[in-house]
């Protein structure tokens, strides 16, 4: 089994199947490495497992605190760690949408353009097509006009290839759902002011401007008959994509390199929305739950990693449950076990192992899938990735560490989901737990890490009990955010839909 992970975007965790099981180089003969010093390693492992433990009372506390923080964040901006950002998505897809719609997903050094032909309730999605475009590095440091002109040009070329099953209704402008995964202050479904560029971008002249206007103006400069109908966050897009197929979809969670969650909220349950006029009784709220920090079981390794991060004291939930960090936590445990406990013989610590983030979450996932008698895949990952020669006893310890960190992450993510559902249930007085409720999941961590996925579901069942948890359906919604943005463009189209 080989494992790859691309640059840190929320859904970039990926596991592919090939050669870990068949090691092409000669087997490493361990003679100089003595058997793991259980006296040195065992106490470290025991303490780690104790510090990471998520028994039912801990899960309950996390779920309750998540619900409380949601309420505080809805009451007033800055009321809690959770930003509880209003998405201005008041109109969700119903299945009645018809016509040709586009989506643009800009979240990193690549962006994706997509088109979808919708046929209403009977035909649903008639056809989809997409292309991925790489942004030249120099444009990441260019002017706002140069970047958006490049994006508009790629979108225009893609639109010119329209044909086959794709047909724009007469008299209509092509409408776009724009997924923009950078910090923006959204003021309506069609406007969002860029707060700052992240992820290595340093484009001049965009901060403080409406990114929708930037794109619309670039398309106008090229004479393109296209305009943005909806500006959306990727998590919101995932929920819209799930809702199109299933009216019971109420929550969406992304668990990939990063993590976030959004849900359908009643407008009358949002005190900070008091002055806003809305015809709809519901809207989607983007929790930005990665910033949650209340009552999480943390270890010395979490605290060290956080202190050395670019954002110390922030995004603690994300640092505990998401794919960007699980492998790094395991690496830090291994370094201590190697130094103090002689995990790999005496106090030897290979140079590679002391490199931050060299051990990635796909690596620890691959090691946990190893069912061979000698744990050959574990041996291969440790040797290739961390420069470590290991005996079987050490490899077993490594698998235990991976399981401990994945178990805590999965169970805390499950408690977070229950916290959201709990808050919705308390406000709706029985409309959530009393009927089928779907939680749409996206992201490579959830998709490719079966143990993590199992621990998440286990925590949800423990917290809700076997009867209520039967009504909560946790479904994988692969790549829902792309088509979700196009569906939101359709749902918020300036043209009326046939009912």
Q: How far is CA 34 from CA 115, 373, 381, 396, in A?
A: 59, 19, 20, 15
- What are the tens digits of pLDDT across the range 405-456? 999 999 999 999 999 999 999 988 777 888 999 999 999 999 999 999 999 9
Q: Is 225 a catalytic residue?
A: no
Q: Is 199 a catalytic residue?
A: yes
Res. 493: pLDDT tops 70: yes
Q: Cα separation of 157 and 268, whole Å?
A: 44
* pLDDT band at 68; cut points 50, 70, 90: very high
DSSP state of 76: S
Show contacts of 273-282: CB within 8 Å, 24+ apart: 273/86, 276/86, 278/90, 279/90, 280/90, 280/91, 282/90, 282/92
- What are the tens digits of pLDDT across the range 101-110? 999 999 778 8
Residue spans of beta strands (DSSP E) within 428-497: 437-442, 472-476
Q: Which two tokens stand for residue 76?
A: 């007033």
| Active-site residue, selected from the candidate residues 234, 302, 306, 479 | 234
| Active-site residue, selected from the candidate residues 50, 121, 199, 396 | 199
- What are the tens digits of pLDDT across the range 372-400? 999 999 999 999 999 999 999 999 999 99
Least confident of 34-43, 298-307, 407-416: 34-43
- Are 192 and 231 in contact by the 8 Å Cβ rule? The answer is yes
Q: Cα separation of 45 and 338, whole Å?
A: 12
Would you state the pLDDT for residue 276? Answer: 62
Q: What does the radius of gyration of the chain's CA atoms come to, in whole angstroms?
A: 24
């Amino acid at each position: 089994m080989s494992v790859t992970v691309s640059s840190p975007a929320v859904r970039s965790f990926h596991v592919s199947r090939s050669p870990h099981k068949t090691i092409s180089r000669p087997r490493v003969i361990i003679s100089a490495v003595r058997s793991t010093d259980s006296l040195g390693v065992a106490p470290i492992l025991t303490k780690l497992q104790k510090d990471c433990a998520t028994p039912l009372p801990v899960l309950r506390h996390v779920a309750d605190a998540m619900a409380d923080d949601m309420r505080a964040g809805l009451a007033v901006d800055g009321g809690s760690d959770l930003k509880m950002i209003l998405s201005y998505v008041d109109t969700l897809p119903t299945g009645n949408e018809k016509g040709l719609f586009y989506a643009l997903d800009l979240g990193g050094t690549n962006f994706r353009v997509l088109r979808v032909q919708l046929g209403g309730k009977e035909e649903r999605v008639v056809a989809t097509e997409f292309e991925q475009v790489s942004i030249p590095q120099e444009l990441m440091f260019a002017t706002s006009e140069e970047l958006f002109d490049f994006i508009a040009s790629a979108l225009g070329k893609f639109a010119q290839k329209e044909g086959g099953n794709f047909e724009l209704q007469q008299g209509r402008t092509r409408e776009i759902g724009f997924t923009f995964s950078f910090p923006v202050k959204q003021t309506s479904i069609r406007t969002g002011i860029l707060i700052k560029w992240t992820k290595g971008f340093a484009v001049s002249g965009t901060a403080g401007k409406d990114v929708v206007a930037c794109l619309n103006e670039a398309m106008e400069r090229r004479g393109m008959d296209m305009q943005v109908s909806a500006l959306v966050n990727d998590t919101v897009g995932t929920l819209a994509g799930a809702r199109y197929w299933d009216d019971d979809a109420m929550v969406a969670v992304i668990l990939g390199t990063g993590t976030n969650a959004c849900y359908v909220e009643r407008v009358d349950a949002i005190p900070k929305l008091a002055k806003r006029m809305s015809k709809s009784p519901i809207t989607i709220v983007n929790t930005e739950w990665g910033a949650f920090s209340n009552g999480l079981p943390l270890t010395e390794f979490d605290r060290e990693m956080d202190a050395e991060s670019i954002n110390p004291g922030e995004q603690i939930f994300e640092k505990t449950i998401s794919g960007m960090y699980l492998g790094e936590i395991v690496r830090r445990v291994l370094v201590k076990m190697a130094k103090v406990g002689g995990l790999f013989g005496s106090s030897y610590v290979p140079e590679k192992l002391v490199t931050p983030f060299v051990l990635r979450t796909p690596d620890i996932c691959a090691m946990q899938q190893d069912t061979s008698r000698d744990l050959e895949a574990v041996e291969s990952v440790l040797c290739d990735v961390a420069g470590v020669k290991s005996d079987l006893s050490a490899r077993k310890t490594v698998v235990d560490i991976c399981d401990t960190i994945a178990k805590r992450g999965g169970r805390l993510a499950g408690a977070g989901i229950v916290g959201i559902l709990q808050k919705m249930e308390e406000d709706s007085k029985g409309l959530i737990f009393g009927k089928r409720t779907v939680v749409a999941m996206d992201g490579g961590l959830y998709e490719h890490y079966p143990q993590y996925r199992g621990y998440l579901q286990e925590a949800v069942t423990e917290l809700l009990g076997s009867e209520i948890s039967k009504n909560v359906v946790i479904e994988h919604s692969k790549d829902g955010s792309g088509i979700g943005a196009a569906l939101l463009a359709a749902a918020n189209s300036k043209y009326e839909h046939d009912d």
